[in-house]
Structure 1
Amino acid sequence: MSGIKVVFDARRSWAKAGAPRRFTIDTKTRGGFSPNGGASKANIAGEVQTSKERLGSNVDILYIHAPDANTDLEETLSAINEVYKSGFFERFGLSNYQAEDVQKVYDHCKAKGYPLPQVYIKEIIQQLRGSKSSFFSPLCRANIANDEGVTKADLAYRWMRYSSPLKPEHGDAIIIGVSKVEQLKETISSINSGSLSENAVKRIDQVWETIKHEAPLDNFHL
């Protein structure tokens, strides 16, 4: 399934429903998920223009969906800077970037005076917290959820809320991903139901300790 296409197609419906006036909207450029220079200046400009036309509004966060090894970093980031100066987005985000690549982007942007990446779809929470960043975590795929009597989504959200290194006092937060209002209500209800059992938390920690040296940090580097 083309996730990008699904998002693009949905934007027309969001715009017609007045969503940009009622919600905070984020969007992405394909970056390395698109062949032949997906993070080139021309591609970024074209995808941003498509978003403008279909959303009919500016956005909060503009992500590069994955690193593009075929495009010079300066070309990519100077294009992002031009879009930023146009007022289309407030914050710059990186998706599916490994730690060393995040650092390269951050250093380049800082040296050039470009908008600094503030949102990373990463699991390196404590390492990057000082940059005032946001983080997303993938759903846990294990039998733990079944034994706990909850869905995989419930397991992931409740672990992040009550047992992960996320700290509200540091400005950390969980971004909920839903496609329906009913799903949003169910997710909030699940999170509010409290922490997982001690046994479930221990099993999750054990799974991570077993695979952390081999587990990919994102979908792009599988």
Structure 2
Amino acid sequence: MPGVDVILGTAGFGEHGRITTTAFAKEFLDTFTSAGHFVVDTAYVYPGGFQGESETFLGNLDASSLGIQIDTKVRSFENNSHTPESIAKSVEVQFKRLRVSKVRTLYLHCPDRCTPFVDTHRAMNDLFLAGKFERFGLSNFKANEVEIFVKMAQDNKWVRPTVYQGIYNMFSRLSEQELFSVLHQYHINFFAFSPLAVGFFSNVRRGQEPPAGSRFDPNTRQGQRSRERYFKESFFDAIERIDTVSAKYGVSNNSIALRWLKHHSQLTDGDAIILGASKIPQLKENLASLSEGVLPEEILNVINEIWDSIKNDAPAYAR
């Protein structure tokens, strides 16, 4: 059916992630599919720092046999990771972990600007012709780079990108300024990751040091990156305004964030929200929020006023 879809993010799956056993991961898959959703998102590098564990969990659970469709991303974030040889090797390893012969979406996780894009695109087209994936995805690319891939697809009759995965939430809206117009022009769907700002909306407040092991733990790479994105005075001011209006209407900040994305953001039919969670009740609560309707006008006004005040501090949509 048309509308904004929901995808389960599995970056936390793995012995060194937040969902540390396959039995626990199965509970997440069961909860998700029982709500009528059947697409999961993973990557070569998940969980961060312990690459391959997420894909291995999904493979051990034989997720594809459960009617689940898999989106994954090739090895990236390193120079020359997108040479034809590197991509072919990455996919070989990943499909062995996942125990599949094809996936729904295969992404380039971020640009490898040391390898000519034409070589990378040719390699992806070869994989598409070999039946390894249904949709070609890009993530963390700039708008002009997306256009480069679209033009190469047109000029060479290669598979064209039809999905873009990027950061998008109430405090991360820079993609609206240039990326979305390009995506809409070329009929490329947008899949939004980090809809809850890795917990900033609900778990972090000014002057309170997050607990060890949290998404904002300064002793971890992820924690350092999350703090760089969100630990800004303007963001703390903004979340205090969200706290006030959420209390007035008796809804959680997370519910506001998810309902804004689904009903009031620039997401359109065919786009998707990627949900991550580390607890089953958390996943159920977020799925329930996405089943709720539009937000009151006062809350929408606050969100838009906040964006005007923080946009200069917002994290970049691309690397």
TM-score, reference length from structure 2: 0.60
Match of 1:178 among 276, 291, 298: 276
Alpha-carbon distance between aligned partners in 2 of 1:152 and 1:131, rounded to the nearest angstrom: 34
Other structure's SS at 2:189 match: coil
Does the 8 Å contact 2:81/2:87 carry over to 1?
yes
Gap change, CA 1:173 and 1:213, over 3 Å in 2: same
Alpha-carbon distance between aligned partners in 1 of 2:254 and 2:52, rounded to the nearest angstrom: 24
Q: Is residue 2:260 matched to residue 1:198?
A: no
Gap change, CA 1:153 and 1:134, over 3 Å in 2: farther
Out of 195-204 and 115-124, give the one that drifted further: 195-204
Gap change, CA 1:132 and 1:183, over 3 Å in 2: farther
CA distances 1:6-31 after superposition (whole Å, capped 9, x unpaired)? 26212222122221122110110133
Match of 1:125 among 166, 176, 180: 180
What is aligned with 1:30? 75
Greater strand share, 1 or 2? 2
Alpha-carbon distance between aligned partners in 1 of 2:161 and 2:127, rounded to the nearest angstrom: 14
Does the 8 Å contact 1:125/1:166 carry over to 2?
no
Shift of the alpha carbon at 1:135?
1.2
Alpha-carbon distance between aligned partners in 1 of 2:252 and 2:113, rounded to the nearest angstrom: 37
Match of 1:146 among 225, 243, 246: 243
Alpha-carbon distance between aligned partners in 2 of 1:152 and 1:116, rounded to the nearest angstrom: 37
Match of 1:189 among 288, 301, 304: 288
Gap change, CA 1:65 and 1:48, over 3 Å in 2: same
Shift of the alpha carbon at 1:52?
1.0
Other structure's SS at 2:162 match: strand
Alpha-carbon distance between aligned partners in 2 of 1:87 and 1:181, rounded to the nearest angstrom: 35
Does the 8 Å contact 2:137/2:161 carry over to 1?
yes
Q: Is residue 2:82 matched to residue 1:39?
A: yes
Q: Which amino acid aligns with 1:28?
A: K
Other structure's SS at 1:196 match: coil
Q: Which amino acid aligns with 1:158?
A: R
Q: Which amino acid aligns with 1:146?
A: D
Shift of the alpha carbon at 1:145?
4.2
Does the 8 Å contact 1:93/1:117 carry over to 2?
yes
Other structure's SS at 2:163 match: strand
Q: Which amino acid aligns with 2:71?
A: D
Alpha-carbon distance between aligned partners in 2 of 1:96 and 1:82, rounded to the nearest angstrom: 22
Question: Which residues in structure 2 correspond to 1:28-67 (within 5 Å)?
Answer: 28-31=73-76, 33-34=77-78, 36-57=79-100, 58-67=102-111
What is aligned with 1:106? 150
TM-score, reference length from structure 1: 0.84
Match of 1:13 among 46, 54, 57: 57
Q: Which amino acid aligns with 2:296?
A: S
Other structure's SS at 1:136 match: strand
Alpha-carbon distance between aligned partners in 1 of 2:267 and 2:181, rounded to the nearest angstrom: 8
What is aligned with 1:94? 138
Alpha-carbon distance between aligned partners in 1 of 2:46 and 2:265, rounded to the nearest angstrom: 32
Does the 8 Å contact 1:30/1:66 carry over to 2?
no
Higher relative contact order at CA 8 Å, sep ≥6: structure 1 or structure 2? 2
Alpha-carbon distance between aligned partners in 2 of 1:217 and 1:106, rounded to the nearest angstrom: 22
Shift of the alpha carbon at 1:161?
1.4
Shift of the alpha carbon at 1:73?
1.1
Shift of the alpha carbon at 1:126?
4.5
Aligned length: 215
Does the 8 Å contact 2:46/2:55 carry over to 1?
no
Greater helix share, 1 or 2? 1
Gap change, CA 1:102 and 1:200, over 3 Å in 2: same
Out of 19-28 and 36-45, give the one that drifted further: 36-45
Shift of the alpha carbon at 1:127?
4.0
Shift of the alpha carbon at 1:96?
0.5
Shift of the alpha carbon at 1:119?
0.4
Q: Percent identity?
A: 30
Does the 8 Å contact 1:145/1:151 carry over to 2?
no
Does the 8 Å contact 2:163/2:191 carry over to 1?
no
Gap change, CA 1:175 and 1:206, over 3 Å in 2: same
Aligned CA RMSD, in angstroms, stands at: 2.6
Gaps of 5+ in 1: none
